[in-house]
Amino acid sequence: MPYCAYCGTQLPGVSFAPCPSCGSPSNGAPRAVPATSALPVVIVVLVAVLGLVGIIGILAAIAIPNLLTAQQRSKQKRSMADIRTIATAVEAYAVDNKRYPEANAHNELSGTLVPTYLRIVPVDGWGHRLRYESWSSNNTAINSYAIGSGGKDGQFEHDTLREYDPPGGTTNFNNDIIFSNGVFVQYPEGAQRQ
């Protein structure tokens, strides 16, 4: 005579049919997991996934603005380096010609300095053309110059580069970067704002 594999009750035959005493399959097959016991597992997994998404969201909210600020600061530093490169070429031109280049546009400066003093006249970190102005302070040869970047927005705050006085630092990515006669007269300083 056959018996239930779980409770040992005597049965007329064993099969997948539930035992009348214990409710398990009488042939010893695994018991069915009730649907209600899976619900807590689903809830725990769902809460864990939502928590992970929340943590990733918080980290992204912190990291993305810092990344954007670092990119803008990098463009400022590149602009300053390119301005210094042009200034070095202008100074070399002045040594050879006893005056600074007489140019008031990017194309005029390019025609004067390329290829002898520069391979190309660079643009600023944001892709805007750098501005160059030269003038004579004593009505003789050109003895002063200024090179500038309009900053992130590409718009200059003054009509001429000579108007940037007194020298000082800026705290906004849109502020101009101005180099005149060997020194930066307006430059990024400290924490910058969009």
C-alpha–C-alpha distance, residues 32 and 140, integer Å: 101
Confidence of residue 118 (pLDDT cuts 50, 70, 90): very high
pLDDT at 83 over 70: yes
Which is higher by pLDDT, 183 or 34?
Answer: 183
**How high is the mean pLDDT of the chain?**
87
Question: Are residues 78 and 124 in contact, defined by beta-carbon separation less than 8 angstroms?
Answer: yes
Nearest in space to 79 (alpha carbons), one of 120, 113, 130, 119: 130
CATH architecture, domain defined by 76-193: 2-Layer Sandwich (3.30)
Which range has highest mean pLDDT (23-27, 53-57, 157-161, 184-188)? Answer: 53-57
| Tens-digit pLDDT profile for residues 122-139 | 999 999 999 999 888 777
Q: For residue 15, how far is the Cα from the chain centroid?
A: 67
- 3-class state of residue 101 by DSSP: coil
Domain spans of the chain? 76-193
